[in-house]
Amino acid sequence: MADKVYYCENCGNIMEFDVKSQKLKCKSCGTTQMITNDQKSIVEHPYDKRAERKKQTEIIEREEKTMECKGCGALIRVPGDVTSTECPYCGSQYVLSDKQQDAITPDGVVPFKIDKNSGNEIFKSWISKRWLAPSRLKNLYEKGGLQGIYMPYWTFDADTYSRYNGEGGRDRQVKEKDKDGNVVTKTVTDWYPVSGHVEKFFDDVLVRASESLDGKLLKGIEPYNTTKELNSYSPEYMSGYSAELYKIPIEDAHESATGIMERELKNMAEKDVRRTYDQVRNIRLDTRYSDETYKHVLVPIYSMAYNFEGKTYNVLINGETGKIDGAYPRSKVKIIAIILIVIAIIAGIIAAVSAKETKGAQLETEASVEYEVVMEQDYNEVV
Ligand SMILES: [Zn+2]
Ligand SMILES: [Zn+2]
d(CA 223, CA 221): 7
**Lowest-confidence segment of 182-186, 229-233, 336-340, 376-380 by average pLDDT:** 376-380
Cα distance from N-terminal residue to C-terminal residue, the chain: 116
d(CA 157, CA 257): 9
- The pLDDT value recorded for residue 287 is 96
* 322 burial type by CB count under 10 A (0-12 exposed, 13-18 middle, 19+ buried): middle
Evaluated on CA atoms 190, 193, 199, 200, the torsion sign reads positive
* 32-33 β-sheet, strand order: 6-7, 14-18, 23-26, 32-33
pLDDT tens digits, residue range 207-225?
999 888 888 899 999 999 8
Q: Are 192 and 259 in contact (CB under 8 A)?
A: no
- Report, as an integer, the average pLDDT of 88-99: 72
Residue 88 Cα to ligand 2 midpoint, Å, equals 7
Residue 13 Cα to ligand 1 midpoint, Å, equals 5
Q: Which of 90 and 267 is assigned the larger pLDDT?
A: 267
**Lowest-confidence segment of 195-204, 282-291, 341-350 by average pLDDT:** 341-350
- The pLDDT value recorded for residue 364 is 52
Name the closest ligand to CA 9: 1
Name the closest ligand to CA 26: 1
- Report, as an integer, the average pLDDT of 189-199: 97
Short-list 88, 47, 38, CA closest to 261: 47
Helices (H), the chain: 50-57, 116-129, 215-221, 250-274, 332-382
- The pLDDT value recorded for residue 111 is 94
Name the closest ligand to CA 212: 2
pLDDT band at 150 (very low <50, low <70, confident <90, very high): very high
**Domain residues of the chain, as ranges?**
6-163+192-330, 332-383
Residue 76 Cα to ligand 2 midpoint, Å, equals 9
Angle at 322 between CA 65 and CA 133, to 5 degrees: 95
